[in-house]
Amino acid sequence: MTHSHWHKNIPERERLIFALDVPDPDRAMQLIEQLDDSVVFYKLGLEMFLSGAYFELSAELKRRGKRVFADLKLFDIPATVGRAVAQLARLEVDFLTVHGNDAMLKAAVAERGSTGILAVTALTSLDRGDLDDLGFACDVEALVLSRAQRALAIGCAGVVSSGLEAKALRTGVDHGLVVVCPGIRPVDNQGGDQKRTLSAAEAFRAGADYIVVGRPIRDAGDPHQAAENLQQEISRFFSML
């Protein structure tokens, strides 16, 4: 199977999602200004949500023509998940994560509007031992594959999955599935608390549609250049297909 079978017609510069994981809106706006055209897609997580400026920041990003990934990993009774999704769908966020069972995913899909629901398969900070601790008797790959197949059948746009499972997803699930891989590191910056990390090219080669990068951009001496370097890495990969 060639890469072209699964790679979607996504604008190349949108494939890099920057995790705007900072504690306050002022720092967030400073980074957005600094990054300028080097980043098109932003992930806003729980920390930013609790800063109180989530809705304003999301609206500002939209005003600037950016795309927004609300990474809130909703997990609650289905009716509550549905109402929360309806609130976020009003912001016209592009992606929203739900970390729940089939009933929660169905409730999210019913209220999604134009927002793509992403199911969380297994958190990237988990490894086999952690899953044993949580009482999952199956292997990581089987768990991810099963959740992804069900999520797509329910109407989710895709999944958040480690790059290490992306390859299995591409052989085991319909190619319409959107695969977003977090914990990606530039080639020269592997390591950190994400146990299951890959470089950008490795993740796309395995079957990712989007990659999420945080600290390697945020903590760089020149965040704009760091993001631009990753964009070039992505561009080189796709130019070789």
CATH of the domain at 83: 3.20.20.70
Residue 3 lies in a domain: no
Indicate if the pLDDT at residue 199 is higher than 70: yes
Residue 152 lies in a domain: yes
Q: C-alpha distances in angstroms, 100 versus 60, 162, 181?
A: 29, 17, 18
73 within domain boundaries: yes
Counting residues of the chain whose pLDDT is more than 70, the rounded percentage is 85
Look at 88-92, 182-186, 227-231 and tell me which has the smallest mean pLDDT. 182-186
Whether 5 is in a domain gets the answer no
Task: Report the catalytic residues.
Answer: 73
> Which tens digits make up the pLDDT trace of 74-124?
999 999 999 999 999 999 999 999 998 899 999 999 999 999 999 997 654
Q: With respect to residue 219, please indicate whether it lies within any of the assigned structural domains.
A: yes
Distance between CA atoms of residues 187 and 114, nearest Å? 35
User: Looking at residue 6, what is its pLDDT?
Assistant: 67
Q: Is residue 67 part of a domain?
A: yes
Domain contains 1 = no
Mean per-residue pLDDT, 5-32:
92
- Could you say which DSSP state residue 136 is in? -
> 93: helix, coil or strand?
coil
Give the chain's domain count: 1
Average pLDDT, the chain: 88
Considering the domain boundaries, does residue 151 fall inside one? yes
User: What residue numbers bound the domain in which 163 lies?
Assistant: 10-239
Q: Render pLDDT for 138-167 as a digit per residue (tens, 0 to 9).
A: 666 777 788 899 999 999 999 998 877 888
Q: Are 87 and 115 in contact (CB under 8 A)?
A: no
